[in-house]
Structure 1
Amino acid sequence: MSESFPRLHARTRRFTLGVPRGFTISPDGARVLFLRTRSGTDPVTCLWELDTATHVERLVVDPRALDADEENLPPEERARRERSREQAGGVVAYTTDSAATLAAFALSGGLYVTEVAKGATRRLETPGAVIDPRLSPDGRHVAYVTSGSLRVQDLATGDDRALATPESDTVTYGLAEFIAAEEMDRHRGYWWSPAGDALLVERADEAPVQTWYIADPANPDRPAAPQRYPAAGTPNAGTELFVLGLDGSRVAVPFEHEYLTTASWDSHALSIVTMSRDQRTRRLFTVDPATGRSTLVREDTDEAWVEIVTGVPGHLDDGSLVWVADDEGGRRLFVGDRVVTPPTLQVRDVLDIDRDTVLFRASGDPTEIQLWTWDGHSLMPVSTASGVYSGRLAGGVGVLTEQSLEREGVSATVVLPSGMTIPIPSLAERPGLDLRVHLGRSGTRDLSTAVVFPSWHEPGSRRLPVLLDPYGGPHAQRVLASQGMYLTSQWFAEQGFAVVVADGRGTPGRGPAFERAVLNDLATPVLDDQVDALQGVAQQYPDDLDLSKVAIRGWSFGGYLAALAVLRRPDVFHAAIAGAPVTDWRLYDTCYTERYLGDPHAQPEVYDQSSLFADAAKLERPLLLIHGLADDNVVAAHTLRLSSALLSAGRPHTVLPLSGVTHMTPQEVVAENLLLLQVDFLKKSLGL
């Protein structure tokens, strides 16, 4: 008998194991390095190489051959994986020299360097557990962080020395602070110079940040783990920048803004991007590495907030700046002083710059993310079929990844300059579901909506209970033209539900104005849009939806939205499952929360209106709250405090605490049984 979907979903880490990822193309386009596990149920990630001339792939590094112990990861590495939502083990990240002849990676705290051509891997001696090793462009040195120190080792001599050591236990060199990693998609804290003779290094000091304690009540013999958590309205970590030379020099790079959003160092410039605490101003500087003096290149401002876009700044071969900014109602690509994309094409990110060609992702239809290039003269689509795409570009060779509604999983293809294509096989398991997904628009606001019916349902044959399955908040979409977005929704549909997934105001892909509709109110627009979408779908399928039995489920922001729905609109929603919900925005982090709600000290009423405690007495529908007690992102206090408020108001509800579980719920048994328990709760709550 084949495995059930919940078990397979858990074992395969949501069907991500076995999918090729982490591509690096050699500068001459002759080789492509990538990460992939050996099967769809194997959690150990290996490093592979594809020869683009022979089309032959080769295993370069198998962590099992290195006798590494994945159970003893350094705490900093566990935190890094949590921030990046990494679910696998083994070689989950690597860097190369500029020629892609050497690869460096950390494994169970050890530092390893591989000669790619030979497949020869050696472990380097280090004074402590290693995270985030990065090779110098010339391949002569490898830098890494251990115990908050940034160190560099000479690969020829083995000489290992600290370029910077922390002055106290709250200081780190070379690591992205919590806010940068969690909210800015910046997971690094140092950058090599092109010549390999110096590094730009972040110094972060968490001393100003308040300390919270993450307890493990199931193991009372263990002390609570202290964590510096910058909640809204409280101090952030202090960040500074220094240029550290291999010759021992140290040059400060001062900047005024609260946040360092990113940095880059290429042959044209050392660049840094900073952002004000209120996130209404972003500045791009070039830096003289010899003096630390900065020169302002451009400043972007917005009355709501400026958006952080990954992949920029960058430069073409001729030195032209590549940048993304909001302009004339769209998120647009700039090259030099010229805007090269129309306002109707929403740029998502920049993936690569290959000589004079920019590879980027953008959306015309918000349910699709397409690949585009700008070659210095014209704008060209790389992908044309409906779907969600990503890719890399170097040496004239491209790697294209595709997800669509027409095929399962993720396909990866190498595209040569001749137009010849080479597939990189995915070893992922097949979900075994017969998807019945209908993409469209619904409601008065023409919202992107997916309706998922059971595979056995005949249209018009009966009205099904309805389950809304949104995320619904900023910086994430659920309604995309990709089968992978609907696997869990389809499984819920097979249990007898019509599942509705809608992306309302605040979600990306439809332009800055649509995103900024949640400014100063994270509750009303997002909830109104879920109701609007539901009513629109009911009009489209009047004989298939039973609006007397409507439930909603979600995780993280989706969990917040689910709880919000039954508290404020019990006339529409009859049951809710809220997983890891934010319940009081004062308890969530500075950067995310203040972007949308401002300073809680200046606008307390805005926070009150968007939080849930004042609504506790209104609960009249079944509500299941689920929370991992080890969650260091949305801490368990959110659920526990809402539960206390509900109890004080005499409102019955259910709480499911998950001992030892973080925000990702990576444990197989937990992930499997969570799906089964949710179905049981929904059926009982709706009287099915």
Structure 2
Amino acid sequence: MTSEPLSFPRQYARTQRFTLGAPRTFRVSPDGERVIFLRSRSGTDRANLLWVLDLATGAERVVADPSQLLAGGTERLSPAERARRERLREGGAGIVGYATDDAAELAAFTLSGRLFVAEPRTGAVRELAVPGPVIDPRPSPDGRHVAYVSDGALRVVRVAADDGTGEGPDDRALAAPEAATVTYGLAEFIAAEEMERSRGFWWAPGSDRLLVARADDAPVRRWWITDPAHPDRAPEQIAYPLAGSPNAEVRLFALGLDGSRTEVVHDRERYPYLARVHWSAAGPPLLLVQARDQRSQVYLAVDPDSGSTRMVHAEDAEPWLDLFPGVPCWTPDGRLVRITDEGGARVLAVGDRPLTGAQLHVRAVLDVSADDVLVSASAGAEAADPETGEVHVYRVGELGVERLSQEPGVHGATRTGEVTVLISAVPHTPGARTRVWRDDKPVAEVTSYAERPDLTPRVTLTEGGTRRIPCAVLLPSGHPVDGEPLPVLLDPYGGPHAARVHAAHNAYLTSQWYADQGFAVVIADGRGTPHRSPGWEKAIHQDLTVTLDDQIDALQGLAGRFPLDLSRVAIRGWSYGGYLAALAVLRRPDVFHAAVAGAPVTDWRLYDTHYTERYLGDPAEHPAVYAANSLVTDDGLAAPAAQHRPLMIVHGLADDNVVFGHSLRLSSALLAAGRPHEVLPLSGVTHMAAQEEVAENLLLLQVDFLRRSLGLD
């Protein structure tokens, strides 16, 4: 007896977009002997295990297995841990994160709020009996202690009962919350959601103290998330800093294991955002703090004994300054490493010198050594070859720039010493390949258990429109480029923080599935999307509607080269893409004939401070800007009935990022304007929509709606 093969929507949902079973979260031991990583046992297993690759033998072995450590029990997450995973967009289970000491001899992680430590070299694992639920445990650099957060307190526990100091094990709070609104050691909502700062404490290189963020969200507005499908359950209260309203108050303390407590002092009134913290043996603790309007920021060196700070570097720019992964940090000889916009390019600067120019658009710093800086970058505005959708790994030094990744694709890396782990996704091969290099020679490859999709994207990477917008075009399998025109589906994100045009196979699986339902699918990364040039990203200042202009420009520019039927054009998107989809049918019904808007931001006054104010400013100072970019105040709502276009609004009731109120307000405005539309509420679903049945059926329901709306059935 054989079972029927899974449909693509079910396979896509069950494998969490074909990410399950793929290795992730790599750490190379400084001695160059081991690579530690996470991976589940198969392409449909959500539970990650902790693994180690022995570089001498090439053998992989399990270090920690959640099913054994929990004795087969069900994993239980605290509300704080669920919220943290939502901010990280973490849909996995089991060991979803870990941290090691400097020597990578000790790894700490949580399961069901319990604290475990493992020795990757020996495979020994044990639980430390501490108050729970435990969040974000991190060993000290010397491996003697583990710091963690529990019930808002920053606690420290000794790892060994007798480590030669003559002291027994202890577990104690270095800082406990003074009120229910206070936490120590956790990133506040706005830092985790918008600044990509998911941590709230940092060990000193000497392992004798920590820098710890204290966040008090008492000033923050309170919202209530409820699920009407369960009227017996009380609403969940969340602190949400909507645009123009107060943020959490964030302070930083140096806490010693000896009980000392020193507040780090800087001008928090002028620079309220604690955006980055770095502490290494190469220099004093380093902070990056931003002004509320994000037009100025300063890099501060901290004296942890006195709490005083001194300015290392200051930046001012219009209309805003961006934050980047991996910086700021110090070089081993104490020079500041940062990424900055200079001369119309995004460059790497070390000390007072830019080391890259307009040929590269630097995206992140991956590692810093005495000889070079390892970065990821895409082609810059002046590159001879635009390399549409490609991301490469480069070594940057005083003598020049060297590209490490060679084949076209999207590449990333982790490096310690002479060992580099290179992760590569390429256009013609499913998933990603993980290779380990030593001294520029391949020595091992980490196995992936991810499933292979049953379809192969037929994608053309190109540019479209007068602005040469990066685009991907997908046609149904077997449909000739010079064949009959097809109904068009635009499938963008189209806004800040996320590009969708990638030179990678799996990036287009869903889009190809839509194409095989009879559409020509177009993905366009217009102005506002990252990784092309600073000017490209910042062209949306106070006018998000230019992102819609670029979708139209790309569509019309591609029409002469691909079989696109411009009389039948639909658009779908999620989050910012949902906003863009709704904007399309409301403002340009002459171009767009149907839309699916998933979790759309419909009124920017209801979205968070750091994101929204960066692009639109303070709503009290710029009310007309907010009105012009809103969907619920759009004059297009009053368009003649002949121009009303079908619109499906999809939204999770449990979404605490773009709350369901956005879609309710849009629906109410549409109803008041006499505009027909459909609303699909998803009970218990957050912004991720990760549940298997939901993810599968969302694809099926959307394609059914689009086919009906365009008259294809």
1:25 matched to 2:14: no
Cα distance in 1, alignment partners of residues 346 and 455 from structure 2 = 36
Equivalence map 1:588-603=2 (5 Å):
588-603=607-622
1:287 matched to 2:302: yes
The one-character-per-residue Cα deviations of 1:649-673 (angstroms, maximum 9, x if unpaired) are 1111000000000000010000000
1:530 matched to 2:551: yes
1:155 matched to 2:159: yes
Amino acid corresponding to residue 564 of structure 1 in structure 2: L
Cα distance in 1, alignment partners of residues 456 and 685 from structure 2 = 31
2:96 is matched with which residue: 92, 96, 117? 92
Q: By how many angstroms is 1:344 displaced?
A: 2.9
1:331 matched to 2:331: no
Bigger Cα displacement from structure 2, 219-228 vs 452-461: 452-461
2:376 is paired with a residue whose SS is strand
Q: By how many angstroms is 1:462 displaced?
A: 1.3
1:124 matched to 2:128: yes
The TM-score normalised by the length of structure 2 is: 0.95
**Kindly tell me: are residues 620 and 71 of structure 1, through their superposed partners in 2, closer, same or farther at Cα, counting changes over 3 Å?**
farther
Cα distance in 2, alignment partners of residues 434 and 396 from structure 1 = 36
Cα distance in 1, alignment partners of residues 617 and 134 from structure 2 = 37
CA contact (8 A) 1:281 1:300 kept: yes
Cα distance in 2, alignment partners of residues 349 and 402 from structure 1 = 16
Cα distance in 2, alignment partners of residues 269 and 51 from structure 1 = 34
Equivalence map 1:470-619=2 (5 Å):
470-523=492-545, 525-541=546-562, 544-615=563-634, 616-618=637-639
The residue that corresponds to 2:383 in the other structure is: none
2:558 is paired with a residue whose SS is helix
1:7 matched to 2:10: yes
The residue that corresponds to 2:204 in the other structure is: 193
2:708 is paired with a residue whose SS is helix
The residue that corresponds to 2:60 in the other structure is: 57
The TM-score normalised by the length of structure 1 is: 0.98
Q: By how many angstroms is 1:280 displaced?
A: 0.2
2:118 is matched with which residue: 89, 114, 120? 114
Amino acid corresponding to residue 497 of structure 1 in structure 2: F
The residue that corresponds to 2:358 in the other structure is: 343
CA contact (8 A) 2:52 2:61 kept: yes
Amino acid corresponding to residue 551 of structure 2 in structure 1: Q
1:79 is matched with which residue: 70, 76, 83? 83
Equivalence map 1:647-662=2 (5 Å):
647-662=671-686
Amino acid corresponding to residue 563 of structure 1 in structure 2: A
Bigger Cα displacement from structure 2, 157-166 vs 551-560: 157-166
The residue that corresponds to 2:277 in the other structure is: 263
1:621 matched to 2:642: no
The one-character-per-residue Cα deviations of 1:597-634 (angstroms, maximum 9, x if unpaired) are 00000000000000101233337000000000000000
Cα distance in 1, alignment partners of residues 238 and 216 from structure 2 = 13
The residue that corresponds to 1:421 in the other structure is: 443
**Kindly tell me: are residues 483 and 377 of structure 1, through their superposed partners in 2, closer, same or farther at Cα, counting changes over 3 Å?**
same
Amino acid corresponding to residue 411 of structure 1 in structure 2: R
Bigger Cα displacement from structure 2, 368-377 vs 299-308: 368-377
1:514 is paired with a residue whose SS is helix
The residue that corresponds to 2:704 in the other structure is: 680
Cα distance in 1, alignment partners of residues 94 and 70 from structure 2 = 11
Gaps of 5+ in 2: 162-168, 380-385
Cα distance in 2, alignment partners of residues 608 and 508 from structure 1 = 25
* Paired-residue identity, %: 58
CA contact (8 A) 2:456 2:509 kept: no
1:412 is matched with which residue: 419, 427, 434? 434
Q: By how many angstroms is 1:71 displaced?
A: 4.4
1:204 is matched with which residue: 212, 215, 222? 215
Amino acid corresponding to residue 621 of structure 1 in structure 2: R
The one-character-per-residue Cα deviations of 1:72-128 (angstroms, maximum 9, x if unpaired) are 201111111111111110100000010001100011101111122221211111122
1:441 matched to 2:463: yes
Gaps of 5+ in 1: none
Amino acid corresponding to residue 483 of structure 1 in structure 2: H
CA contact (8 A) 2:419 2:438 kept: yes
Q: Over the residues paired in the alignment, what is the CA RMSD in angstroms?
A: 1.1
The residue that corresponds to 2:689 in the other structure is: 665
CA contact (8 A) 1:25 1:31 kept: yes
Q: By how many angstroms is 1:395 displaced?
A: 1.9
The residue that corresponds to 1:172 in the other structure is: 183
The residue that corresponds to 1:232 in the other structure is: 243
CA contact (8 A) 2:75 2:94 kept: no
Bigger Cα displacement from structure 2, 458-467 vs 374-383: 374-383
1:249 matched to 2:279: no
Amino acid corresponding to residue 112 of structure 1 in structure 2: F
Q: By how many angstroms is 1:433 displaced?
A: 0.8
Cα distance in 2, alignment partners of residues 48 and 377 from structure 1 = 38
CA contact (8 A) 1:215 1:629 kept: yes
Bigger Cα displacement from structure 2, 430-439 vs 168-177: 430-439
The residue that corresponds to 1:633 in the other structure is: 657
Amino acid corresponding to residue 416 of structure 2 in structure 1: A
Cα distance in 1, alignment partners of residues 365 and 590 from structure 2 = 44
The one-character-per-residue Cα deviations of 1:482-533 (angstroms, maximum 9, x if unpaired) are 112111000000100000000000111111111110001112x100000000
Bigger Cα displacement from structure 2, 281-290 vs 338-347: 338-347
Q: By how many angstroms is 1:375 displaced?
A: 3.7
Amino acid corresponding to residue 614 of structure 2 in structure 1: R
Q: By how many angstroms is 1:376 displaced?
A: 4.1
CA contact (8 A) 1:70 1:89 kept: no
Cα distance in 2, alignment partners of residues 489 and 215 from structure 1 = 33
Q: By how many angstroms is 1:459 displaced?
A: 2.5
Q: By how many angstroms is 1:292 displaced?
A: 0.7
2:277 is paired with a residue whose SS is strand
CA contact (8 A) 1:317 1:356 kept: no
1:593 is paired with a residue whose SS is helix
Q: By how many angstroms is 1:57 displaced?
A: 1.0
1:368 matched to 2:390: yes
| Runs of 4+ with deviation above 6 angstroms | none
CA contact (8 A) 1:362 1:369 kept: yes
Q: By how many angstroms is 1:354 displaced?
A: 3.1
Amino acid corresponding to residue 265 of structure 1 in structure 2: W
Amino acid corresponding to residue 197 of structure 1 in structure 2: D
1:491 is paired with a residue whose SS is helix
